[in-house]
Chains A and B, each alone.
Chain A
């Protein structure tokens, strides 16, 4: 599994009209683990995945899967790759088994192994009855079949674009657990809007905004980077911290979470943190003074407002 890799080198994509969809993107991952690929609509997430699998041609740069360019040799590049991009739809006239069979056979499985893999996927993803036509499936069922198609033949690289889209909460949990299990010996790139989901499943994240990489780091470091600059203060009695002039002089922002709880943003230094604590104690009886438990989502929003960071 050590050969599993995906890489983009100075990758750019521009259509005939409009600004570049992707600009000079570079990253490389090898081995196993899960990488979250985050960004708002139009950030270029799906475009990157399409360029990797050869559904689009790059305007500049190159994209590799396991060392091969899909634009040059799609057979070798996609041989050990399972990709879920946009909303894949097998022919509605085929049944679930047939839809998965064509994937397994094209990836070199024998009939017996196709059966074995279909059974495995059926168990992992609680697939609908195998004889049911794809056209009769619900959106969630179709999505599970599409995810199953990426697992047929156990490819080492998985490229998943919004894998939990269209799934109900129970199905989302199922897929998250599946990905957490898979990342032990697979290399997974998960594009998503669901920051909490990415934070739970992924080891690293890439933040993308308007076709450019904002940040690439380990999930916990990204969260820490923001978390250490924000404290939550809880008082024993109601306090109006927002109108406290001393606090406003050292804080970058103050938000009321309730009449007794406040979130204060500052420059992150220990000196300011100590001064903040003193000011808060002067304002009222402090019950709790802790680093905020910010979500990845807030980290992302902060990054977007700050502009590009070094990758």
Chain B
């Protein structure tokens, strides 16, 4: 093709830039940093992070106000018991953060102009997904980490640093990280399936929180262990710190009736989480790869 025109032109020829081949790993790192830069400036991050600080801070403040003696008595003079109780609601933070950071992580490409910016770059979609998944995991862990920081501070205040089971606390945080990965796998799968970001966030919240909690209660009422539930598996975060851990409790309800309350062991919890990751993460990659920008 030859170019002929009388139009004045702008000399667009650049000083030659060198473009080096980019590996998937490098692009994953680029996408992760890009996504992380976005997440940490969103209102949802400030809001959730601030809310986690507020709730954990108030909990600790009330405990401090109650006095060291009373807290030691209530927690059976064990810092592990204290930590297990302090962290019992960590799963809720994981679910909230996973829904808010993962629920629209992929659908945003098909409902806003973000996809027309990112999906035309020479980045394979699984790499794009991996980068966003990593960034979402890091911000989710940052929110969850707040609970651990306040919990650890409380344990040190009430029981002294030497009495705190740091190894177990680290293990618990490790399980929390696996729980984050599992919850985000579900959120990413929902996000890859739906087209509306709001629907992705809402559906993830309903599925992980309301759905699992309700089903779990029903199944437990019928006398079965809710091994299918991710939130049930997430209980392992607190269970690892519980020195008096009981897998199943039989609670008598009226005459000849027993209600069973189950708690996941660490191994069981990790197995459930691993199963969710193994199923939902590849599924979200498949759905994301297949999805078309029809809007």
Residues of A within 8 A of B (CB): 15, 29, 31-35, 50, 53-57, 74-79, 81, 83, 85-91, 93-94, 98-99, 102-103, 105-110, 113, 116-117, 120, 124, 146, 149, 151, 153-154, 174, 176-178, 180-185, 187, 200-201, 203-204
With contacts A33-B2, A87-B113, A106-B27 taken as known, whether A117 is within 8 angstroms of B14 at the C-beta atoms is yes
Q: B271 to chain A: closest CB distance in Å? A: 36
Contact: B121 with A180, CB < 8 Å? no
Per a CB cutoff under 8 Å, which of A117, A178, A204 touches B10?
Answer: A178
Pull 22 A–B residue pairs with CB atoms less than 8 Å apart, ordered by A.
A31-B1, A32-B1, A50-B293, A56-B292, A57-B292, A75-B122, A81-B120, A81-B122, A85-B120, A87-B113, A88-B116, A91-B34, A93-B37, A98-B37, A103-B121, A106-B22, A106-B123, A107-B19, A110-B20, A177-B7, A181-B13, A201-B5
Contact: A180 with B1, CB < 8 Å? no
Contact: B122 with A86, CB < 8 Å? no
Residue of B nearest to A135 (CB): B41
With contacts A106-B30, A117-B14 taken as known, whether A74 is within 8 angstroms of B114 at the C-beta atoms is no
List B residues 104-145 near A (Cβ within 8 Å): 112-117, 119-125
Residue of B nearest to A83 (CB): B120
Residue of B nearest to A89 (CB): B113
Per a CB cutoff under 8 Å, which of B3, B9, B15, B41 touches A32?
Answer: B3
Contact: B1 with A204, CB < 8 Å? yes
Other than the given A75-B122, A203-B4, 6 more pairs (CB < 8 A) read: A32-B1, A87-B116, A91-B114, A107-B121, A154-B17, A200-B7
Q: A53 to chain B: closest CB distance in Å? A: 5
Chain B: interface residue total (CB-CB under 8 A): 45
Which A residues lie within 8 Å of B119 (CB)? Answer: 53-55
List B residues 281-295 near A (Cβ within 8 Å): 292-294
Which A residues lie within 8 Å of B3 (CB)? Answer: 32-34, 180, 183-184, 203
Which A residues lie within 8 Å of B38 (CB)? Answer: 91, 93-94
Which A residues lie within 8 Å of B18 (CB)? Answer: 109-110, 113
